[in-house]
Amino acid sequence: METTLRGVGVSHGVAIGEVRHMGTAVLEPPAKQIPTEEAEREQGRARQAVEAVAADLIARGNLAGGEAQHVLEAQAMMAQDPELMADVDRRIAVGSTAERGVYDAFASYRALLANAGEYLAGRVADLDDVRNRIVARLLGVPMPGVPDSDEPYVLIARDLAPADTALLDPALVLGFVTEEGGPTSHSAILARALGVPAVVALPGAGEIAEGTVVAVDGSTGEVFVEPSDEKRAEMESAAAARKAALSATTGPGATSDGHKVPLLANVGGPADVPAAVAAGAEGVGLFRTEFLFLDDSKQAPTEAKQIAAYRAVLEAFPEGRVVVRVLDAGADKPLDFLTPADEPNPALGVRGLRSLLDHPDVLRTQLTALSKAVEGLPVYLEVMAPMVADRADAKAFADACREAGLQAKFGAMVEIPSAALRARSILQEVEFLSLGTNDLAQYTFAADRQVGAVSRLQDPWQPALLDLVALSADAARAEGKSCGVCGEAAADPLLACVLTGLGVTSLSMGAASIPYVRATLAKYTLAQCERAASAARATDSAEEARVAAQAVLSGE
């Protein structure tokens, strides 16, 4: 009998197929003692396993390319963390086996982050995956991971680590469903980049029996277990219609009555550019430069290395707009040379622009590199600061840009509620705003963006979040300046219409989402988008807001 489950849809599309479950996680190693004379040998085994796993993660990243490569390289750095390895050595020295030492050291680190309120303690899938891979290698058992199958299937897991998500084969993995995770987790972001339909935060997903046929709607978050023939036909028809609409709509983003809404791409570096160009991106709305810095957490990349990376992206969009976010370090992206090591809650501490203002040499080098990278190129460069809290922050950043001789527009990200509430004040110092809806939701609702248990508060349809978007857009309109959205909210086609109705002037997203957003925007007038936005803001929950907007746009 057909049953319906609902999670959080994070990657558009429909997948219908048999369920396959993720391989079993590594079992906890036995807590047996070893003689003192064996400690050195066990420490050597642990180090070899760590290096092998790190090398494997880097190799997977090289195969995957793009943003996935940066994620996996960061995971490899996690495996080699010197403090973790020192803890492993200490545990082995007092009698633990290599595998038990690794297991316990990672468990201790995991608990430490959680108890400290670490901003991305919720990104536990990354940490657990590294541990499981090291322990599996030491135990000589198969790595937990994506199942082997000759036939296409729908993958179900408690959570998916980046190493698994990055190398999913879309020809075999029709879609995936996870019990944990949130709409802005690494797995969700990579699923969108791959174009694989995905639903996360679905309680009980693991109880669906192997081989059961399910139909997954990555747009609505619905999962139909043993769907009827009618339901399958309905979903397949809707998917075909959506595909036809995508093919029929090309060119710049705009509403049906010609109101232009530039559709831009979020990129992490040059490797992400081909997909953005292929999707018809009109430029880059978020160039995440931190991935360049994560290659070596102990020192900043040289000016020459930065110039080469920036220029490679800038050259791809002649006459287009490229918005570069300066280094956003701290919290989930700690850098040894920049990030305080003893903050009780890094999410609320020295991160983003605060770190750069404490290290003006790092900011100066980056701004100088950008200035040199854009020389002679017919591109519209805009540079923005992350984690701007008030006018003083905005002024400090604008002053630094001018001192570096940067010929570009200077902007501020709106990720902190104070910036939305005082947007007009901030716009006295900068020329544009860009809403980072992922962090803005996190700080508005005190809900870690990686924790599935609070995923309803991470939903960008929350009316309170829409209110903050409206405040920012209204302030920009009053000042005659632009206000874009570069958070994952822009990747939702229906929400893109609402954001347009709120007054947002551009939308930036993962390349795979651009065709969906372009096709949906082209169906409605600006007035319809404005009415949908008003209807959504008049509700009291994310679900009510979504339903209200859909009702307006469908003419109900």
Token match 């192997």: residue?
A: 210
Residue 533: predicted pLDDT: 98
Residues annotated as catalytic are 186, 486
Worst-scoring range by mean pLDDT, 21-35, 37-51, 406-420? 21-35
pLDDT of residue 457: 85
* Parallel, antiparallel or unpaired: strands 213-217 and 14-21: antiparallel
Cβ-in-10-Å burial (0-12, 13-18, 19+) of 473 comes to buried
Of these ranges, 120-129, 173-182, 342-351, 378-387, the one predicted with the greatest mean pLDDT is 378-387
Q: Sign of the CA dihedral 175, 180, 182, 188?
A: negative
Q: Give pLDDT, residue 112.
A: 62
349 vs 538 pLDDT, higher one: 538
Q: Select from 311, 326, 383 the least CA-distant residue to 359.
A: 326
* pLDDT at res. 26: 61
Q: What is the dihedral of CA 266, 272, 273, 277, to 10 degrees?
A: -70
**Mean pLDDT value across residues 418-426:** 98
What is the Cα–Cα distance from 202 to 180, expressed in whole angstroms? 7
pLDDT at 57: 84
For residue range 505-518, what is the model confidence (pLDDT) as tens digits?
999 998 888 998 99
pLDDT at 144: 67
Output the pLDDT for position 186.
67
Average pLDDT, the chain: 88
Write out the DSSP string of 527-543.
HHHHHHHHHHHTSSSHH
Predicted pLDDT of residue 60: 76
Share of the chain above pLDDT 90, in %: 57
Residue 297 pLDDT > 80: no
Tokens at residue 7, please? Answer: 């999670």
What pLDDT does residue 119 have? 38
- Element (DSSP H or E) covering residue 166: helix 162-166
For the chain, what is the radius of gyration of the CA atoms? 24
**pLDDT over 70 for what percent of the chain?**
91
Which residues, in sequence order, are CB contacts of 438 under 8 Å at separation 6+? 184, 449, 458, 487, 488, 489
Indicate whether 5 pLDDT > 70.
yes
Instruction: Provide the 3-class DSSP secondary structure of residue 323.
Output: strand
**Mean pLDDT to the nearest integer, 224-230:** 94
pLDDT at residue number 296: 64
Relative to beta strand 380-385, strand 409-414 is parallel
Give the 3-state secondary structure of 486-542: CCHHHHCHHHHHHHHHHCCCEEEECHHHHHHHHHHHCCCCHHHHHHHHHHHHCCCCH
The pLDDT confidence band at residue 123, using thresholds 50, 70 and 90, is low
Of 32-41, 136-145, 364-373, give the lowest mean pLDDT range.
Answer: 136-145
Q: Residue range 192-201: average pLDDT? A: 84
- Cα–Cα distance, 435 to 220 (Å, whole number): 24
